[in-house]
Amino acid sequence: MENRELGVGLAESAGTSESKERYVDLLTDSGFKAVFGDQQNKQVLIDLLNAVLPAGRQVIDLTYSTTELRPATLGRKTFVLDLRCEDADGSIYVVELQKYGQEHFFKRCVAYAARLFASQPLRGVKDYDLPPVYLIGILAKDRVGSFGNDRGDRILSEFALREKETGANPPDTISLTFIELAGFTKTLDKCETIVDKWCYSFKNMSRLDRLPEDLQLDIFQRLFKAAEIAQFTHEKRIQYDKDMMTELDWENVLYTAEHRGEQRGLHSGEASAKATIARNLYKDGFSVEKIAELAELPAEQVTAILEAADGAL
């Protein structure tokens, strides 16, 4: 019987292990990388971009700049956080999956996009005729913030420069778009737009055992085919499994940091945030002593957090 409440194709809890794991979890770094970081799936990435980019901006073709633009490394462990690619006209697209809460996330995205925009090579008399930068953030848990306005159940937020009084937009420079999945609660039968259906796929794909009838569109047929684990090449499956293990290790690091933080009387969320700060500073090359100072943690606790990452020091 079709389950309209949960969505067509959800694996039954009594199903086989194989049915539960037919598709990757797009909200894991490993699953995100396996689908969108594989250049063989370039059209799937184009489909996603065209669904969420501002009106009038459609991507025709892409060239991947790198599939590991800004890796966070602990020892031998690498976490792929985002992808960067360029359109035929030079426009730059960054697609980032944000799994964990991060303080000042919006400002970090602005700084990151601005750095990409400013780092483009100047071109003679047209020095500042630079292609625009579009950053698309997929937020698994947090919301980017209402900034004082009631946004209701909106899950797509777009930010760009504009003239304050008239609302007029200057030529494209930097554009930020956020897909805030924490605010998405629709069942498949309630999904009316393409963005709704992308959000549903992100949140539910790993629990599906087939492509639902309501997603029988070319773009989702491509997405589900790209995400089907059994269709991976031997080499890709090995890499995917390694990435999954790395990610599970890091999840354990966060859990350990939270647990130890609670033992020291820290609130769970505060402990997790401090562990994330320690990780980011370490991957940027800061010493344990400097991390301890900036994250306001004892040096021995910073050492314990990093050592929990399987010998990162």
| Longest CA–CA separation in the chain, Å | 67
Cα dihedral: 66, 200, 56, 139 (round 10): -50
**pLDDT for residue 69:** 41
Tokens 């602990």 locate to 74
**pLDDT for residue 80:** 38
First to last CA, the chain: 54
3-state secondary structure of 15: coil
**pLDDT for residue 272:** 64
Q: Could you give the angle at which helices 299-307 and 288-295 cross, rounded to 10 degrees?
A: 110
For residues 56 and 118, what is the distance between their CA atoms, to the nearest angstrom? 24
For residues 203 and 301, what is the distance between their CA atoms, to the nearest angstrom? 34
Task: Please name the residues in contact with 226: beta carbons below 8 A apart, sequence gap of 6 or more.
Answer: 35, 38, 40, 41, 44
The model carries a pTM of: 0.73
Q: pLDDT digit of tens for each residue in the chain (313 aa)?
A: 334 334 445 544 333 334 458 999 999 989 999 999 999 999 999 999 999 998 788 898 999 885 444 433 333 333 335 688 888 888 999 998 887 666 678 888 899 899 889 888 776 556 677 889 999 999 988 777 656 555 667 789 889 998 989 988 888 899 999 999 988 999 999 999 999 999 999 999 999 999 999 999 999 999 999 999 999 999 999 999 988 887 787 677 666 655 655 555 555 555 666 677 777 777 767 788 877 777 667 787 778 777 664 444 4
Cβ atoms within 10 Å of 298's Cβ, excluding its own: 11
Distance of CA 111 to the CA centre of its chain: 17
For Cα atoms 13, 19, 22, give the angle at the middle one, nearest 5 degrees: 130
**Domain layout of the chain by residue ranges:** 17-231, 235-307
Residue type, 1: M
Q: Are 202 and 26 a contacting pair, CB within 8 Å?
A: yes
Q: Are 307 and 77 a contacting pair, CB within 8 Å?
A: no
Residue type, 97: L
Q: Are 207 and 21 a contacting pair, CB within 8 Å?
A: no
**pLDDT for residue 145:** 62
Tokens describing residue 256: 């350990």
